[in-house]
Every structure is written in C-alpha cells, then in structure tokens.
Amino acid sequence: MTRIRQTSTRLADGRELVYFDDAGTAERARRADERALDPRPATPTMRFDALSAEWITVATARQSRVHLPPADADPLAPQSAGNPSEIPDDYDVAVFENRSPSFGPATLDDVPATVDDEGAGEPAVGGARPAVGRCEVVAFSPDREGSFGSQSTLRARTVVEAWAERTRALSAVPGIAQVFPFENRGVEIGVTLHHPHGQIYGYPYVPPRIRRIAQSVEAHGGDLFAEVLEGERNGPRVLLEGEHFTAFVPYAARWPVEVQLMAHRQVADLAATTPAERDELARLTLRIARGLDALYDAPLPYIAGWIQAPVDAHRDDIRLTWHVTSPRRAADRLKFLAGSEAAMGAWVGDIAPEDGAARLRDAIARADEQRPVEALPWPEVQHA
C-alpha cells in the first residue's frame, strides 16, 4: 500500500502549507492559492515577568482572528467560489502557518543579535525579546464539523504522521526550543472554529510546564517516567494498555477528566516514534477520544496535547505522553479555575482519580461497542 504522502507548497502571502494524504490515495495535483492577501503581521514581542521567571507574548494581531464563522465561511474548508478559505484545494490532512501567530514568522536567524541562547541566564527586569518561532494549524479533515475522535482510523493515522513530521521539521527551525502539538475542543475551552482541527506551537523557550517536569526529573534521579508508568500499570487507574503505550488517569489528577497515554520505552517525541508505534497511537488515541464523548450526552470539551522533550535537552529522560484534560465535572457543570487554582496554582480535585478511571473505562467500553475503532488496512508485519 502507498504510504502517507506529504506535499509542501506556499500560500499567497508566503506561509507554508503541507498536505498529508491518507495512505493508499492516488497522487493529485494541487491548485495554487491565488488570493490577494495582506502582508503577514510583524513578529510579536515577548516580555519577561521577573517575579515568575516566565515569558509573556504580546500578540495583538490575534485580536482580529476569525471567531466561530458560519459554515459557508469556514476558513479550513477547501476553497470555493464563495469561500476564499486558507486551504486552496481538497485534502485529507493539511498543516499551514497560522495567519495570526503567537510566535513568528521570524526565526532566530532573522534576529540573531536580540535573542539570547537558551541557558544564557535570566533577562533583567523589563526584558523583552522578539517572539520568534512558529504556529501552525492542523486541519484533520475537510469536513466542517467534528473533532479528532470523529475521524476514521486511517485518517487518525495520517494526523499522527502529520504531528510527528511537523515535530521533526519544527525542531530544526532556528530558535525553536519546544514543539507542542495540541487540540482544543469545545466552546467551553474557547475554540474559535467548529472545524475539526488542532495546532502546533514551536516555542522559542522551554515553557513552564516542561521546565517543571525537567526539574522534577533532575531532582528525582533515575528514570522518573518509568517509575510513574510502572506504578500506574500496577494500579486501579489503567484505561487501556497496548504493546507500546498505556493510558491511565494519573494518581494526582487535577481535572475532573484527565488522561495520560505514556510510551512504554524512552522516546523523546513523536518524531522519534516507529511506524508501529504510530499505528498504535492512531488506534488508542481514537478509542480514548470516543470514550470521552461517551461520558455524557453531549461532546466533551477538552484540551489534548503532547508532552515532548525539549529540542536540545532531556532527550533521554522526558518521555512522550499524550495528556488530555476536561473541565466538565458533571453533565451540566464545569470546573472553573478560581482563587486557589488560578491565583496560587494550588489545585483541589473534585473527583477521586480512581472513580474517574472507573467512569472512563465504562465510557470507553460503550464507545467500543457503539463506534468501534476499525483496524488499519495494512498488517503490522510490514514495519519489520
């Protein structure tokens, strides 16, 4: 069978667009983007918060981005006579640079005199830098409604391939220190498009979440991820277990719904996975996503993102993990981050992780019965 094919082109304003064709599809010509577009916005600025030692990006161009447009103005649908969207032609999966990015379009090569190397010390009070990097949109399907969980297994495998190959590409962009593929789902999370899609951020620094994980790894010594995984695999919170990955509700879950899908071996990022691991990821992530939607009568709002090692650090001890969280704590209630969590970062869990795991196992079982995840149309032995 023909493997997943990727084809790179450019949009009318110079932004990169990469098509990923499902395995087994015929090669096809692509229409050019013939729109007359305004110049790309200037690269935003990052300001340093000296009290928290965190970078804050000021990206004012994002104020004008599209917000919940009608179906006939969907910017992720293939272009038509009445809809000059972002994607010129029909597609399976498409990845392109965001028109209103939080980082970029400049890279470190464009501003070498103003951006310090990672590890060169914290900036002074009032420090600022250009927010170099890359922000990309990942359209999962030309369909105008849905989410990752509504895709076929074949399409989910193409999305996994896109995540992995864009992780590889962005890791080579000068100045990018961390690559983060993610999906926001639901208006409760703040999505601005109903079209099934995700995003990929290429940060010019290691973001706070990964910095804290790195500090924990350094302080603990040994293989912290392996110890966490061993404890979870022997406990009551396991949801699914495959040959290469195990899904579980974490021991100290913060959110009412929280899932981690962790690699069995030390693999730093999606780009370092094998074809067999990507095949399994397509199936397991799809089963989890469909199980999440089976929890209640309405689709579940969530944030699903990939914990990966930084581009140039902790490659041997931070392990690839898919992390999904939802604020829905009941069919008609959301968890809001108020005083303690939002102001002080001191979390209080509303649901015991063991109870959450039991509910999720039941939901995944219902989804497996009602919307079973089909097998991929090729044998595992082809990867040998």
Task: Kindly tell me if the per-residue pLDDT of 381 is higher than 70.
Answer: no
**Cα angle: 199, vertex 333, 183; to 5 degrees:** 10
Task: Kindly tell me if the per-residue pLDDT of 380 is higher than 60.
Answer: no
Q: For residue range 241-271, list pLDDT tens digits in order.
A: 999 999 999 999 999 999 999 999 999 999 9
**Cα angle: 201, vertex 203, 204; to 5 degrees:** 155
Average pLDDT estimate for 60-65: 83
DSSP reduced 3-state for 363: helix
**What is the residue-averaged pLDDT of the chain?**
93
- 232-237: which pairs have CB atoms within 8 A and are 24 or more residues apart? 232/262, 236/354, 236/357, 237/353, 237/354, 237/356, 237/357
pLDDT at 85: 97
Q: For residue range 29-52, list pLDDT tens digits in order.
A: 999 999 999 999 999 999 999 999
Task: Kindly tell me if the per-residue pLDDT of 1 is higher than 80.
Answer: no
pLDDT at 172: 98
CA distance 89 to 31: 6
DSSP reduced 3-state for 179: strand
Q: For residue range 263-305, list pLDDT tens digits in order.
A: 999 999 999 999 999 999 999 999 999 999 999 999 999 999 9
Average pLDDT estimate for 117-146: 86
pLDDT at 33: 97
Q: Which of 197, 264, 323, 383 is catalytic?
A: 197
Determine what percent of the chain is predicted with pLDDT higher than 90.
86
CA distance 13 to 40: 7
Q: Is 383 a catalytic residue?
A: no
pLDDT band at 118 (very low <50, low <70, confident <90, very high): very low
pLDDT at 221: 84
DSSP reduced 3-state for 262: strand
pLDDT at 121: 62
Q: For residue range 323-334, list pLDDT tens digits in order.
A: 999 999 999 999
Average pLDDT estimate for 168-185: 97
Measure Cα distances from 167 to 135, 277, 370 in Å.
Answer: 12, 16, 33
